[in-house]
Amino acid sequence: MSAAGVKVELKPGAYKSGLKPVWCPGCGDFGVLNALYRAMAKLQIEPWNTVILSGIGCSSRLPGYVKTYGFNGVHGRALTLATGVKVARPELTVIAVGGDGDGLAIGGNHLIHSCRRNLDILYILMDNEIYGLTKGQVAPTTPTGDKTKSTYWGNPEPSVDPCELAISTGATWVARGFSGEMKGLTEMISAGLEHNGFSFLNVMSPCVTWRGDDQFKEMKAKVAQLPEDYDPSRRKNAVKYTREKDKITTGVLYEVEAPSLTDQLEDMKTRAMAGNGSQSTKEMLSSFYPSF
Amino acid sequence: MPTRDLTFAIVGSGGDGVITTGDMLAQTGASVGLHVMKVEAYGPQIRGGESSCTVRVSADPIYAQGDLVQVLVVFNWADFAQFRGEILAAPDAIVLYEEADDTPREEIDLGPETDDVRWVPVPFIELAKESAGTKLAKNIVTLGLLSELFMLPQEPLEQAIKGKFAKKKPEVLEANLKGFEAGKIHASKITEAASGKRMQYTAGEPMLLMSGNELSAVAALHAGCRFFAGYPITPSSEVLHLLSELMPKVGGYLVQTEDELSAIGAVIGGSFAGVKSMTATSGPGLALMTEMLGLASMAEIPAVIIDVQRGGPSTGLPTKSEQSDLWQALWGSHGDAPRVVLAPADVEDCFHATVAAFNIAEEAQVPVIVLSDQFIAQRRETLSMLTLDHEVTGRQVPSAGDLRDYKRYKETKSGISPMSWPGMKGGEYQTNGLEHTEDGSPTSMFLTHEKMNAKRYRKLRRVRDKYSFYRHYGAEKADVGIICWGSSKGPVKEAVLKANGRGERVAAFVPQLLYPFPFHEFQEFIKTVSEVIVVELSYSAQFYKYLQTFLELPEGHTYVYKRSGGKNLTVSEVEDKIQKVLEMSAMRREVLV
């Protein structure tokens, strides 16, 4: 609010922290960052009531570039930090971000349980199919057979589809985006922010350094849209667009309504406090007198 | 002759109702104002397996679990054998054992000195079947028997039985009351056995009966904690259990996370968001939290971690106490990661140490570890409501002026910078596990790293000056001074007071702030003693070695008594060491003369 009580409209530029990204020129994460600025401006999100949290990796540097409360934590634990922020302060807007190694390998367990809990946050996973910051090792989303720094003879393991994982473990809003599609990505981020519950956005975000100049072109060529009459409320519909080989279908694959963790905890609090109000220390201690 | 102090132990299998019996005994004592200490011990099995419950009841204040059991109830000698070396009978103990168990005496090891033990066979099963129609009632028979034999208050016991079976069918309650009567009647036939062991006391006001874990949970709420994240682990889970009930009642939130990594992460997140936050765990869980302990240290985020120690390493002895997480708590980290370590020394201390932990964490923006242990965390003892209060302080927040050009990690003399939290306009900043400048931006510059390390460590000075918790017992000037920490305090204090009672000059120093260490107070103490004994339950003597890293213990005059945990420290062990060192000291003096 300005002095006159008139709300000042926040433009995308108002969300820039002023810190210059350390990302390589051409990195897909720039697209995600710009889409995030735009989505926040679209929803007029108040920076001081917003927390963006991350783990470790190239994409995990993102919180530093947004003028909100930010937390660049440790590897794989963005969602644990976000759980604490959201549960302790349910009124805040909470966004977690990170890469495929951070979110699916070292932090995979937390992803599963954040989905299951329907934690009311937006989680943006920037997927470049490689470990960038540690210089080019195989990741959980690297296709089988690909040569990387740590798979000299080709990747011997199958990859995971993050959207399929999120759907199967209880996320209530699951979308796939492409960092080169600014308009669609902006819409998805703002829709994810508005959804009540765990919103999982997997963004294909090419790595020019470790996946080569062609990764962007290849991804772009594969990008496809969901059919006009697509119904995202059916799990079996969504699953058709996972584990795709020749396409990258973007859009909201899955969306259902269910009580979020915040809803459940608020309900619990109401039940616990019914009639009594808050208990004092003495009242709590008194229940430990012997009672027969 | 009557007595004012009795220690009971009841031993049987999981299904024998051993714990219920002990519970009811303890509740009864507390209800008439007696001092009570109750300790449970089990094998690691969930159902079945050996279990024991030891209850000390006294008309006078007590500081330790009784070393030697005066009244031993054994339902099954095979179960008792599992506690060999842990439950020791007093030389003149009364052993009330199941008549139907014909284990030969020579196969039973009651302890080192048991020549005058009174062996009293009792047909527990038969009495239960006859009176209540089921052998399940044998624990209730036991209560009747014990109350009549040792003059324990029967009225509250009967009330306890009624309370316990209130929700069952009326026949069940009636059967159990018959069992209680049958026990009393049987007792009247063997009254001689109890001579010299009948309790004499004056009934007083009821006392609280609580465990250290329960007190830690209530203390956290008293301190203003409104977010708890934890993962179940023995022997700390009672903190999680009680908070799951109480936290929503005070308007707070609790999450049982998927693992300890997530628990500490959520606590750091909650605290970053401006809410006082805590987790509770045991050694294996603390090991998993270690990386993010460094994050809290680096990002200067308050966090309270209760570590209820158990025997280790690895899975170790999950249900038994030890003092061997000390090094992990003090130094477990990569990098130079300041933290504060507090150690409650008894059950009541769990309240004060937990509130103090929040005060320190919030004031100095550091992680604080409360090193509790199974012995004080899970034993229940009587407490007075009057002493359970503690001042609560909070976090230094930025002023309007600070927010105009906010620097989260602003250089200050104390090292403490005002900390904003989400919702404060102008207080937005990025925090970081990376080294950072005053405004929170990442940097790898040596100069900034050196400056920020100094800032983070400087905060500890203030903690030491403001919170130099320690206790001093016994003589002002002493021939023997004992240094110990945590739950060892109980037996040490009792041994010191007993020695003082005999006119021996013995004292004890018990720091409750372990890091930063109350250095000056300790130096003063050392000046007043001739010989030093460090006492601890750590096989590798972690505490002694810790002291050695920064203190000069008197050369040639320092002794160490250390052993593994798994068995609680006893008063007689400590007395024995005091005597030995007193003798050494006397010999030394003779030489000097």
Which token pair is A138? Answer: 């195989």
- Cα B363 to Cα A15: distance, rounded to the nearest angstrom: 31
As a whole number, mean pLDDT of residues B312-341 equals: 97
pLDDT band at A291 (very low <50, low <70, confident <90, very high): confident
As a whole number, mean pLDDT of residues B252-270 equals: 98
pLDDT at B230 > cutoff 80: yes
Question: Which domains are seen in chain A, by residue range?
Answer: 12-259 (3.40.50.970)
Asked if the C-beta of A281 comes within 8 angstroms of chain B's C-beta atoms, the answer is yes
Q: Give the other-Cβ count within 10 Å of B377's Cβ.
A: 29
Predicted confidence at residue B46, as pLDDT, reads 67
CA distance, residue B409 to nearest chain A CA (Å) = 14
CA-based R_g, chain B, Å: 26
pLDDT band at A279 (very low <50, low <70, confident <90, very high): confident
For A89, the closest of B27, B214, B273 (CB atoms) is B273
**Are A74 and B162 a contacting pair at CB < 8 A?**
no
Output the pTM of the full model. Answer: 0.96
CA distance, residue A266 to nearest chain B CA (Å) = 9
pLDDT at B164 > cutoff 90: no
**Are A56 and B433 a contacting pair at CB < 8 A?**
yes
pLDDT digit string, tens, across residues B25-70: 999 999 999 999 999 888 766 667 889 999 999 999 999 888 899 9
For B221, the closest of A72, A284, A291 (CB atoms) is A284
For residue B210, which residues of chain A lie inside 8 Å, CB to CB? 285, 288
Question: Which domains are seen in chain B, by residue range?
Answer: 5-194 (3.40.920.10), 209-387 (3.40.50.970), 400-466 (no CATH), 470-592 (3.40.50.920)
pLDDT digit string, tens, across residues A154-182: 999 999 999 999 999 999 999 999 999 99
**Are A69 and B222 a contacting pair at CB < 8 A?**
no
Asked if the C-beta of A225 comes within 8 angstroms of chain B's C-beta atoms, the answer is no
- Cα B567 to Cα B9: distance, rounded to the nearest angstrom: 15
**Are A49 and B422 a contacting pair at CB < 8 A?**
yes
pLDDT at A5 > cutoff 70: no
Separation in Å, CA B165 to CA A214, A292, B136, B141, B192: 75, 10, 13, 15, 32
Burial of B142 (0-12, 13-18, 19+ CB in 10 A): buried
Predicted confidence at residue B496, as pLDDT, reads 97
pLDDT at B204 > cutoff 80: yes
**Are B422 and A83 a contacting pair at CB < 8 A?**
no
Least confident of A233-247, A271-285, B258-272: A271-285
As a whole number, mean pLDDT of residues B296-322 equals: 97
Asked if the C-beta of A57 comes within 8 angstroms of chain B's C-beta atoms, the answer is no
For residue A47, which residues of chain B lie inside 8 Å, CB to CB? 428
Predicted confidence at residue B42, as pLDDT, reads 80
Predicted confidence at residue B49, as pLDDT, reads 84
As a whole number, mean pLDDT of residues A93-112 equals: 98
More confident of the two residues A233 and B552: A233
Predicted confidence at residue A275, as pLDDT, reads 77
pLDDT band at A213 (very low <50, low <70, confident <90, very high): confident
Residue A159: DSSP 8-state: -
Of all residues in chain A, the percent with pLDDT exceeding 90 is 93
Residue type, B440: G
For residue A18, which residues of chain B lie inside 8 Å, CB to CB? none
Predicted confidence at residue B44, as pLDDT, reads 66
For residue A112, which residues of chain B lie inside 8 Å, CB to CB? 258
- A249, A163, A152: which is closest to A199 by C-alpha? A163
Predicted confidence at residue A1, as pLDDT, reads 43
As a whole number, mean pLDDT of residues B219-242 equals: 98
As a whole number, mean pLDDT of residues B504-528 equals: 96
Query: Would you say A173 and A188 are in contact if contact means Cβ atoms under 8 Å apart?
Result: no
- Could you tell me how many CB contacts below 8 A there are between chain A and chain B? 204
For residue B295, which residues of chain A lie inside 8 Å, CB to CB? 73-74
b/e code B489-504 from CB counts within 10 Å (16+ = b)? bbbbbbbbebbbeeeb
pLDDT at B593 > cutoff 80: no
As a whole number, mean pLDDT of residues A77-86 equals: 98
Tokens 């079945």 sit on residue: B48
**Considering only alpha carbons, which residue of chain B is nearest residue A84?**
B266
Predicted confidence at residue B585, as pLDDT, reads 87
pLDDT band at B508 (very low <50, low <70, confident <90, very high): very high
pLDDT at B116 > cutoff 60: yes
Residue A129: DSSP 8-state: S
For A290, the closest of B31, B255, B270 (CB atoms) is B31
**Are A64 and B430 a contacting pair at CB < 8 A?**
yes
**Considering only alpha carbons, which residue of chain A is nearest residue B221?**
A281
**Are B422 and A92 a contacting pair at CB < 8 A?**
yes
Query: DSSP string covering B131-173, please?
Result: HHSSGGGHHHHHHHHHHHHHT--HHHHHHHHHHHTTTS-HHHH
pLDDT at A150 > cutoff 50: yes
pLDDT at B197 > cutoff 80: yes
**Are A286 and B209 a contacting pair at CB < 8 A?**
no
Asked if the C-beta of A105 comes within 8 angstroms of chain B's C-beta atoms, the answer is no
Helix (H, G, I), strand (E, B) or coil at A150: coil
Predicted confidence at residue A2, as pLDDT, reads 46
Predicted confidence at residue B404, as pLDDT, reads 95
Separation in Å, CA B244 to CA A241, A287, B226, B261: 40, 15, 11, 20
pLDDT digit string, tens, across residues B55-109: 999 999 999 888 899 999 999 999 999 998 889 999 999 999 999 999 999 999 9
pLDDT digit string, tens, across residues B376-410: 999 999 999 999 999 999 999 999 999 999 999 99
- Residue among A40, A50, A89 with most chain B CBs within 10 A, to mutate: A89
Q: How many residues does chain B have?
A: 593
